[in-house]
Amino acid sequence: MAASVIVDRKTQISQACQSGEEFARIYYEKFDKQRHLISNLYEQSGNVVWNGNYVTGRENIGKFFQNLPASESDLLSLDAQPILDEFVQGQTTILVHAAGNIKFSGKNRCKFSESFLLTAKQGNDGSVWRVVSDTFRFHEPLPT
């Protein structure tokens, strides 16, 4: 039994890594090039805290991102961990944490990091990952 628990955990870890990589690739590509699609990646009741600005609900998140200037992001570093089943009552959930540089038009290129909680939901064609929470920060001091 103990052995199978360990195998399960290893499987969960691999899945978190794979999904995290795939998610980050898709996310920043959509964010830069097809921003109008980005809200599809969020859960209906998802939350975003973007440089301290709180936005809730898929529709509002979509509008918020559409209103940001054009961007070019450069993902440099990434990590992902599974949240173990015992903590999420079997609702498959992963933590994805990304970092890199982002250039918004009208602002200098700057360092950012962003962490996401993704949960597996039943979609029309099997399971899909949906963002339930997203926190984003520039790595620079707050404006005074």
- Decide: is 60 part of the binding site for other proteins (CB under 8 A): no
Give the residue among 91, 141, 140, 143 at the shortest CA–CA distance from 120. Answer: 91
Shortest distance, position 138 Cβ to other proteins, whole Å? 7
Cα separation, 3 vs 120, in Å, equals 25
Which residue reads 């920043």 in tokens?
28
The region of 31-39, 100-108, 122-130 touching other proteins under the rule CB under 8 A is: 100-108
Say if strands 42-50 and 126-138 run parallel, antiparallel, or are unpaired.
Answer: parallel
- Decide: is 89 part of the binding site for other proteins (CB under 8 A): yes
User: Of the candidates 105, 122, 125, 126, which one interacts with other proteins according to CB under 8 A?
Assistant: 105
- Decide: is 51 part of the binding site for other proteins (CB under 8 A): yes
- Decide: is 44 part of the binding site for other proteins (CB under 8 A): no
Shortest distance, position 32 Cβ to other proteins, whole Å? 15
CA distances to 1, 10, 36, 92, 141 from 130, rounded to whole Å, are 31, 22, 16, 11, 31
- Decide: is 142 part of the binding site for other proteins (CB under 8 A): yes
- Decide: is 80 part of the binding site for other proteins (CB under 8 A): yes
The region of 31-39, 77-85, 120-128 touching other proteins under the rule CB under 8 A is: 77-85
Give the residue among 108, 142, 106, 130 at the shortest CA–CA distance from 39. Answer: 130
